[in-house]
A = this chain, B = another copy of it.
């Protein structure tokens, strides 16, 4: 909602909130499942449940895309799939390179959901000469020396870094220099990139640490609860948790993209 909405009320304008963007893939997945089961329409309530969010949030999110529902009825599944795909830029397909073909890189290469929606693994790249030529997930691994050529020849703009932490920044620099402008980083490092390049980070140990924090909290609360229960009368059962909601928050963080 950055630039005013003053006029142009019809054609949904730009400026979809980042939090909404982060949820669109979730909706898309739920819708795709419905589509496969040939469900023709769905209400915000049902779709929200399938996506793990609440319906008010979902309706608000969709309102940023336009008015694609029918009052009293719900949303047309196929139509919404198309609209969200388009909004996410998945009507074209994006060639992606994966750099670092260890266990993780191989797992990513084998990941089916990859190809299924808008992405194509254009190349697998590894620094180990012994890997060169070896096929992983049916794609021959190429040596890092080829990186620049691969990026240019395939018009790759999205790169996935699955290397050890030590190599990540260097790989990142080369990717960016060769023209990549979006990076998904699995290495546990903060990457620095020039303006205009987006980096998203996936980090196992950070996720675990966040869980540990809450886990620890629960242990503490349990003790408090027992005490309270002992002191007071009876009703202490489900009274502890702070947030409830049917939500399944993404980002956990507000992960947000970071144009760096």
Q: Interface of A with B (CB < 8 Å)?
A: 1-2, 14, 19, 21-26, 28-30, 50-52, 87-90, 92, 94, 96, 102-104, 106-108, 110-111, 113-114, 116-119, 157-158, 160, 181-184, 188, 190-192, 195-196, 198-218, 238, 240-260
Contacts and interface: CB of A to CB of B under 8 A. Distances in A.
Nearest to A165: B113
Given A26-B206, A210-B257, A252-B253, A218 B196 contact: yes
Contacts of A260: 245-248
A192 B49 CA distance: 10
Most B C-beta atoms less than 10 A away, residue of A25, A26, A52? A25
B205 A202 contact: no
B250 A257 contact: no
9 contacts: A19-B254, A25-B205, A25-B209, A88-B209, A89-B217, A102-B107, A244-B259, A246-B260, A253-B253
Contact of A113 (B2, B181, B205): B205
A251 B248 contact: no
Given A119-B208, A209-B24, A254 B251 contact: yes
B259 A243 contact: yes
Contact of A90 (B191, B212, B259): B212
A213 B216 CA distance: 37
B253 A19 contact: yes
A196 B259 CA distance: 35
A253 B249 contact: yes
B251 A256 contact: yes
A89 B212 contact: yes
Closest 5 CB pairs of A and B: A251-B253, A251-B255, A252-B255, A254-B254, A89-B216
Contact of A209 (B117, B160, B212): B117
A242 to B, nearest CB: 5
A255 B252 CA distance: 2
Contact of A247 (B102, B250, B258): B258
A23 to B, nearest CB: 8
A260 B49 CA distance: 12
